[in-house]
Structure 1
């Protein structure tokens, strides 16, 4: 390698000597090109071609020329100017510029296709300082336009030289604003003068626009002046509030509260307080009760409690809207009542709230409900007599049975009614058995089937045709309750119409339940009385029939002793038409659904027999036919069979 290098130096020396020689022994340009080409191919020489290809430049020489051009240009030159000046391709210039920027330790910077030296940066900083001392303030944005360099680059240059070349400092809130201390002092004095003269809240933007203040500097100076107590005031958002105004405002608020016992938010808004509720919470804390439109103090709370206590003691009601200040809306009064009742169970338990603002004693409600008790008893009796209670209770029982059974509704309903009929018949049979006669036991059983089965059949038919709502017991609708309340409540004309309606709505369900209880008790009492009466009535019938039957048997035996056949026949017919007919009449009168006092003729008897229950009709018909027999024994046999 050393030998090759020696050859290169020797050739270079020969080349130089030949060029300087005045003899005719010189290398032609073509020979020179061939020699250079050979050296480059052998990688013994690293050169850069010029743009026209007529010259070769080494990399070290190109760097030196770039540095020389940068210096001669005053420390700032663009890469395009270097391309023109050095006649070298732009790619080569850019590569060497990047290399120079990396290896210069910050002395040279490549910015937006321009090389900038440290000397230029210092010179630029000196120019900036001169301008800063003249104007007192300068921004990076202005310098960017002036020097046509990037804002970040200029910001870095300025930041490195602040306090040294540049006699100033960056703004606290915005580092891209540079100011002098004198400028800040003047600015502070001006801001202090303006804000010291303010006696009411003023938006900061208004001051900034009127006096042409820089917003960022203004904000930092105001905060600094307030923190150092040079300004007697405070900031609420973007509004400056002088201390004198805040004191006057607070005095007004406290005096208003002491006088009225409340503070409405609209008044605070007119005083310049944006968020009135938050302001009051900071100032008064839990001392106030915060409503929708205002905040009230303990004085109004005590007033509400006193009114409710008086309402409880008098078993009455009280509307708290007239008691409260007019500024309170109905929703405010409702919130106040709710909070008062939540905090005191002794007040909440014996009262209810109607119409949002009316507190009513439960004792007053109970007294009102007592008004309807006589009406309930009267209606229960009317519904019982009309058969409505029987229909409803039977339908309810059938519906209850239907809900238990998994089969079809109609099928399960029919089974439930049949079971109810059989149960009723068994009870009647038991009563008849107490009479002691087998035939009468059958008759009573037949009667029980008739009485118990028929209503069940009616309920089934009604349940199939009517809505389920018709099976519910109702007392009075709301309109009817309102009408009754208006007639029975003292001073009802002074009550709000909504109050009467709310009472009716409140007690409607209670009255319905009470009426159902009363109606059920009336129905059960009536059913028990009817059963006892029926048992007593049938016992009397049994007793009468037994007496007549004994007489019939006695007279029949006496007739049979007679030897005169004609007389015996006549007496037998008479016995059948008299005592035996009386037995049939007694049975018909007892089992008939009509009110019958007596049966005068056989035709009338046949008419009533035709109206009997089908289960009884056949038996009574056979018994009636036996009255036309020739022997009393036929009648007795038929009677025992029946």
Structure 2
């Protein structure tokens, strides 16, 4: 407090004492004083501040004076809330006066609701300086926690006092940290000593944990030491805790080791370089061995010594017309890819046209491959003979050129394509009876578009790629001598066997395959031409048999239709018609479908089912599709009408080329007799009671109606009532009793009862057979 202030206090005290001692004539009451002051306040002649309890009031000037006094008492820092409690003045009033005080005085500021004087800031700066003397380094973070002040405020205060109160310097890597010169020198000395002791690559994290130093201080010291040449080493990658420090002594020893390795071996192995700590061997070689002109491979870098050895081995192969594997010559780490690269490099330099590379590392001469071809002659002849004799070559040629081979059924020799077209035109215009070749030609023309793309000219290629592309294009390829056959023979060759490599055998086999395949095709073609006449004759014979079979079956179907129409019940007729469609009609349909697709190998050998017939319908040309589809659907009908309406088209031109023969009484009579004799033959040898009853019923039915009936055993219960009016009572009773016994045998589960029934059936079987065999004679006698 200044001397002027003290003088003012003394003067006021004297005035106060004088007023007390002086007696007045008139004294004012307390209420009068209050009224006078309120009038002055209301007229704005006096400004006062009331206390929080309302009993006292003070002037603003005095309030400011008390605020300063309290700030002084609290050593330059006080909270405004606490100040308002001490002075018993509202906080808002205190805040306003504090703000005015901050503006009017450069030594006072408000921070986070606290009034702070510069004397306090100087005090904490002295404390921070003392802390730096002890610790050597402090951070704004720890000071913020200690003094409960904003970090930016403390940073600003310390920055202003650097070099004055605070004897320290700001960390260049961390602006919110400060350290002394002594701390800096100590840290540099610590890092220097540690780095000089390191002899191999060490992670920065390890160094930090050993020295107990922070990351940024380490890099600060490292950069300082490298710039001053006191240490020599490098950091790999970006500066950070995961970086690796490599001392210069280690790098030098690495280089010496690599140099000696190359001098001894003629190559540099990348994995060996990695094992001695070189993180990027490829870049290391490029940087340090540029003058050697090394060839860089995936696993190593090789020098001229290796290339000279490979070149010498190739020269020896050319002279001896054999093969050699260069992999043993190369470094042990080199693989097939490296070997292939080196071979191409050497062969390009030597301009070798008569050499081939197999399995990436084996060099083979043309002459050796030609010698290998000769050992296959015997096997090719054997395989070609098997191919022709088995019919595989015929199927292949049919698939390749259907029109030419269809015509060969009527010709016993090969003709040119132009001659075949001319002959087809002649046959189409002339026609032939009995389902000959006209319909046959119609079929091949309709399917030509489907198979026309499969033509394969083996004489036009001696190249692996050409054969492969034709196979991928959809053509069918006939393999007389396949890859496995070739590999089997190659495995017996001495030089190849010594290599003991399946990959080598595979590649040589693939290389020889096109030529051997062509040779085998030519051999098979020669044999095929010598046997084509006999093959065509056999096809004509089968065609004739098929024609007779279809005529016979269709005639039987018509006769069976007459038989089931003898029953007055439409329901029975439909059941018998369905059974006929399911059996004999289905057999006829299967025969037709089989013939239509006989030249299409994809359906060969498959069981003819309804699903397969549907697939065939979808695969045939449009001019055949409708007829075959109608025929197939007719099998699901309940009458024979649809089947018989379409059958002539289905066996006619464009399908089976069969001309159905006209029926007459003589043929029908012959069929009836043949059918009866078949039934009699079967019943004479039959021992199954149900079968005997079925056969007997069919024989008697045929004799009664003079028509044939095709029915299974489940129709016997329908046939017997129909025959009752035409049978003697005793014979009908015998048949009916036998029928009941058969049903009883089939339905009973009692073993004793089943055994007795079986015995009865066996005893009466002879009488049932006799009824069937002698029925005709009995009918004639009754008549």
TM range (shorter): 0.5 to 0.7
Q: 2:233·2:247 contact (CA, 8 Å) conserved in 1?
A: yes
The residue that corresponds to 1:640 in the other structure is: none
Partners of 2:36 and 2:318 lie apart in 1 by 125
Who is 1:317 aligned against? Answer: 323
Change (3 A) 1:21 1:159: farther
State how 1:356-375 maps to structure 2 within 5 Å: 356-361=360-365, 364-365=368-369, 367-369=371-373, 371-372=375-376, 375=379
CA distance in 1, matches of 2:388, 2:196: 91
Instruction: Name which of structure 1's ranges 126-135 and 276-285 shifts more when overlaid on structure 2.
Output: 276-285
Give the SS at the match of 2:210.
helix
Q: Which residue of 2 aligns with 1:242?
A: 247
Question: Does structure 2 retain, via aligned residues, the 8 Å contact 1:477–1:508?
Answer: no
Q: 1:472 to 1:202 in 2, by over 3 A?
A: closer
Selected match of 1:498 from 498, 502, 525: 502
Q: Superposed, which structure 2 residues align to 1:343-358 within 5 Å? A: 345=348, 353-358=357-362
Where does the alignment leave 5 or more consecutive residues of structure 2 unmatched?
Answer: 1-15, 238-242, 406-415, 452-470, 538-656, 662-783
Matches within 5 A, 1:68-79: 68-79=69-80
2:80–2:113: 8 Å Cα contact kept in structure 1?
Answer: yes
Q: CA offsets per residue over residues 515-563 of structure 1, 9 Å max, x none?
A: 5762686489769x989xx9xxxxxxxxxxxxxxxxxxxxxxxxxxxxx
Q: 1:119 to 1:334 in 2, by over 3 A?
A: same
Query: What SS does structure 2 have at the residue aligned with 1:318?
Result: strand
The 8 Å contact of residues 351 and 359 in structure 1, kept in 2 or not, is answered as yes
- How far residue 68 of structure 1 moved from its aligned partner, in angstroms, is 3.7
Partner of 2:392: 388
Match in the other structure for 2:34: 32
Distance in 1 (alpha carbons) for counterparts of 2:117 and 2:288: 62
Asked if the contact 2:358/2:508 (under 8 Å) is kept, the reply is no
CA deviation map 1:54-110 (0-9, x unaligned): 3445666545543443233222222232122222233444455456556756x4343
Question: Using the alignment, how far apart are the partners of 1:367 and 1:31 within structure 2?
Answer: 141
Please give the residue correspondences for 1:548-559 in structure 2 after superposition, counting only pairs within 5 Å.
none
CA, structure 1 residues 388+77, in 2 after alignment: closer, same or farther (shift >3 Å)?
A: same
Q: So what's the TM-score if we normalise by structure 2? A: 0.50
Distance 1:475 1:210, change over 3 A: same
* Count of aligned pairs between the two proteins: 476
Q: Paired residue for 2:483?
A: 478
Partner of 2:166, secondary structure, is: coil
Per the alignment, residue 168 of structure 1 pairs with 168
Q: Tell me, what secondary structure is at the counterpart of 2:110?
A: strand
Q: Give the Cα separation in 1 of the matches to 2:108 and 2:306.
A: 79
State the match for 2:306 in structure 1. 300
Aligned to 2:550: none
Q: 2:273 aligns to what SS in structure 1? A: helix
Distance 2:248 2:421 in 1: 98
Q: What pairs up with 1:3-82 in 2 under 5 angstroms?
A: 24=26, 26=28, 28-29=30-31, 32=34, 36=38, 39=41, 48-56=49-57, 62-82=63-83
1:253 to 241, 258, 263: 258
Gap regions ≥5 residues in structure 1: 1-15, 402-419, 433-441, 535-613, 619-642
Give the conservation status (yes or no) of the 8 Å contact 2:300–2:334. Answer: no
Structure 1 residues 48 and 493, CA gap change in structure 2 (3 angstroms): same
- The corresponding residue for 1:622 is none
Contact kept, 8 Å, 1:392 with 1:471, in 2: the verdict is yes
1:268 aligns with 2:273: yes
Q: Please show how residues 439-588 of structure 1 align to structure 2 within 5 Å.
A: 471-487=476-492, 489-503=493-507, 506-507=510-511, 510-511=514-515, 514-515=518-519, 518=522, 522=526
**Which one is further off, 216-225 or 96-105?**
96-105
8 Å CA contact retained: 1:202, 1:239: yes
C-alpha RMSD over aligned residues: 5.0
Q: Relative to 1, partners in 2 of residues 1:125 and 1:522: Cα closer, same or farther, differing over 3 Å?
A: same
User: Secondary structure at the residue paired with 1:77?
Assistant: strand
CA shift, 1:224, in A, is 0.9
Deviations along 1:139-187, one digit per CA (max 9) or x if unpaired, are 3344334323333322222122222322221222223332222332333
Q: What SS is found at the alignment partner of 2:257?
A: helix
Distance across 2 between alignment mates of 1:272 and 1:202: 11
Offset of residue 426 of structure 1? 4.8
Distance 1:88 1:484, change over 3 A: same
Q: Say if 2:384 and 2:521, in contact at 8 Å, map to a contact too.
A: no
> Given the superposition, is the C-alpha separation of residues 516 and 120 from structure 1 closer, same or farther in structure 2, using an over 3 Å criterion?
farther
1:335 alignment partner in structure 2: 338
Could you tell me which residue of structure 1 aligns to residue 90 of structure 2?
Answer: 89
1:593 maps to none
**Alpha carbons of structure 1 residues 147 and 496: separation in structure 2 relative to 1, 3 Å:** same
* Whole-angstrom CA distance in 2 between matches of 1:399 and 1:296: 63
Report SS of the residue matched to 1:116: strand
Question: Partner of 1:322: helix, strand, or coil?
Answer: helix
Rate the CA distance shift 1:175–1:351 in 2: closer, same or farther, 3 A: farther
